[in-house]
Structure 1
Amino acid sequence: MKNNLEEIAIQQLYSNKKIHGQFISTEYNKEILLENYLNLLLQEKITDLHFLAYKDFSLVSYRFNTSLIEFDKISKKNYENILTKIQILSGIDIINDRDPSDGSFTFYNHRFRVSLIKNINGINCVIRKLKDISDLIKENLNYPEIFISYVEKIKLLKNGLVLFSGPTGSGKSTALAYILINLLKDSQKKIITIENPLEYNIPGAQQIEIKDDSEKTTILKNILRHDPDILMTGEIRTEEMAKLTIEAAMTGHLVFSTIHSNNVFNVINRLTEKGIALNDILDSVKIIFNQNFVRLLCDCYIDENNKGCQKCHYTGYKSIKPIFEILEINEFIKEFFREDDISKIKNTTFYTSYESELNNLLVKGLISQKEFKSYMNTN
């Protein structure tokens, strides 16, 4: 049955580059529609499935290499049937549809995360395919060598704070999981994580999944009594969480966390806005990463007007590559921060810009001029 569904999914995927306003799924039995869509998510480089509720129909799209591609259009009735199945599978309350809801389920040994939110026409649904821990190897993740070298530096840290920033969906959770796996490989460390939601089951780590961020500060206070070597605390959103994270890093623990920021220097500003003294930040933070993805050109690429091929889902881009802006904080860098001289920091070997990696990819013909300019204009 699974093979037949995969064939249907692949046929539909490649025969419908973009919908044109008609219902194209009526030929499929509604009972197999959900499995059909989930099999799409099993295809390489497709990460998310989106159901957008409109007045009389639902629009189905998928995300391929960061691009959202319109795929299907289904009747309101069929979507309601699919949505009910999703809610049951993921343990989401069918009765209470007013509040945003999250859940997860397993399909053919693959884990999926579900997020629901109501709009004026119905309930929008996003299903994300979660990577398996076995996927987290250097060859699969396509990390640049500069990042791999910093992972080796992190292995030598005894304490302090390592921060990741970047937009939603930029791969921060994957990068953190990759680091933790490598730390566990090389040493006997007690690692405790606080996650909302839990994305990877990391063998050897003590993982705590929370449903509400309000639980996080209480749990972190208690975790410190369990004598961990390494902590992963999730996103820093509140002043109290910022204070507890810094305190943990300054009292002999190696701490990993994330914070919303568009570059590594703004991370310092975000922490000071949350009431943390600059000296405490500089004494605790060891490395700051800002992470994003850049799209790599497909072999079919000729120019910016090229419509692509089946292999790249008619986008012109065959894959994505993680890129990093990195700042290592040491005594040398601390003095520049105290002098408020960012320009001098940018000229040191302890700072890695996005531009250097993007220039390298552009020279090799791996990214387009349009992609390069677009990225540089927004970073």
Structure 2
Amino acid sequence: MEKIQMKVYQLIQASIEQNVSDIHFNIRDDRKEILFRSHKKTVRRIIDDDALHIFNHLKYLARFDLSQTVAQTGVFTIVVDFKEYYIRFAAVQSFDLRSGVVRILNLNAISSFEQSVYRESDRNRISHLLSEESGIIVFTGRTGSGKSTTLFNCVSSVKGRQVYSLENPVERYNSDWIQIEVKSYVEPLTQLLRHDPDIVILGEIRSEEDVGELIRAGLSGHLVVATMHAGSLIQALRRLMDLGASIYDMVEILKGIVYQEMKRNQDGEVIVEYEIAGIETIKRLLDKTAAYQ
């Protein structure tokens, strides 16, 4: 076990030293592969006969239910060179494949609204959305675009309002918030709304049940903020509709969508570009979406 613990530590340490936030595991009987990936590109490939043991130890660290083979996600911390890192591990397995992704959540610590959103005009528009008393704001983008970090830093910039979050799992901590780790939003949301929060964060919207709870919370008179995977503003609306939201729901309570995308500038540096839709833009996009139904 000490050997495997050391290998986990060394993998994460190497990832940090190479400034790579994601470590992928692809494990079959005939292939035990570990990939270091950065901005969708593989930068290092490792073949290790102990990959399955490392994978299983990561499940233990992330507090998975080891009796289940369904997809699970968990978070743990590790100290490397006197700094504490937050590690998210997501894994799924089938009969002949085990697949997992380690993400170092605070590798490149973007810890402020200004660092997340560098254009003042974009910050002003997001701040205006977050000044709403009620309704829904969705932060969206592709996998790995940093939308959870953006949401966290944007809401953290709001002062004087009571923030409650329901997350699965809790990835980042704010001492001013009340953060609750949940498996489902249904019952915890009912209890949470009795505490009269100003802002409710629903970590990620993945399913029809999640969208139902998002709308229920949005109709309760609170401001609700969430993240969701989508490839554009209009895809975000289509995804909400696919998961059960009606056009009427969205016209009534969807106050804003913040879409972000990672791009490379002329110098090859990775930057984040934002598209921000308020109520009027959302209505126009919904009209366009409805025309294709």
TM above 0.5, one fold?
A: yes
Structure 1 window deviating more from structure 2 (198-207 vs 134-143): it is: 134-143
Greater C-alpha radius of gyration: 1
CA distance in 2, matches of 1:247, 1:80: 42
C-alpha displacement at 1:173, in angstroms? Answer: 0.8
Q: 1:181 aligns with which of 131, 156, 160?
A: 156
Q: Structure 1: which 5+ residue stretches go unaligned?
A: 1-28, 299-316, 343-379
Structure 2 matches for 1:115-126, cutoff 5 A? Answer: 115-121=90-96, 123-126=98-101
- Matched position secondary structure for 1:152: helix
Distance 1:253 1:73, change over 3 A: same
Counterpart check, 1:326 vs 2:272 = no
CA distance in 2, matches of 1:99, 1:274: 21
- Is 1:232–1:257's contact at 8 Å kept on the other side of the alignment? yes
Corresponding letter in the other structure for 1:200: R
1:261 aligns with 230
- Greater length-normalized contact order (CA 8 Å, ≥ 6 residues apart): 2
Structure 2 matches for 1:14-163, cutoff 5 A? Answer: 32-43=6-17, 45-74=19-48, 76=49, 78-92=50-64, 96=67, 98-108=69-79, 109-121=84-96, 123-131=98-106, 135-138=110-113, 140-141=115-116, 143-163=118-138
CA distance in 1, matches of 2:62, 2:285: 47
- Is 2:135–2:221's contact at 8 Å kept on the other side of the alignment? yes
Distance 1:119 1:296, change over 3 A: farther
Distance 1:233 1:105, change over 3 A: closer
Percent of residue pairs bearing the same amino acid type: 25
CA distance in 1, matches of 2:288, 2:62: 50
CA distance in 1, matches of 2:113, 2:43: 28
C-alpha displacement at 1:335, in angstroms? Answer: 7.0
C-alpha displacement at 1:132, in angstroms? Answer: 7.5
Give the aligned CA root-mean-square deviation in angstroms. 3.1
- Is 2:113–2:150's contact at 8 Å kept on the other side of the alignment? no
Q: 2:211 aligns with which of 233, 242, 250?
A: 242
Structure 2 matches for 1:184-333, cutoff 5 A? Answer: 187-210=159-182, 212=183, 215-296=184-265, 317=268, 319-330=269-280
Q: Report the count of equivalent residues.
A: 283
- Is 1:239–1:275's contact at 8 Å kept on the other side of the alignment? yes
C-alpha displacement at 1:229, in angstroms? Answer: 0.7
C-alpha displacement at 1:249, in angstroms? Answer: 2.6
More helix by share: 1
Q: Structure 2: which 5+ residue stretches go unaligned?
A: none
TM-score by length of 1: 0.65
TM-score by length of 2: 0.81
- Is 1:133–1:202's contact at 8 Å kept on the other side of the alignment? no
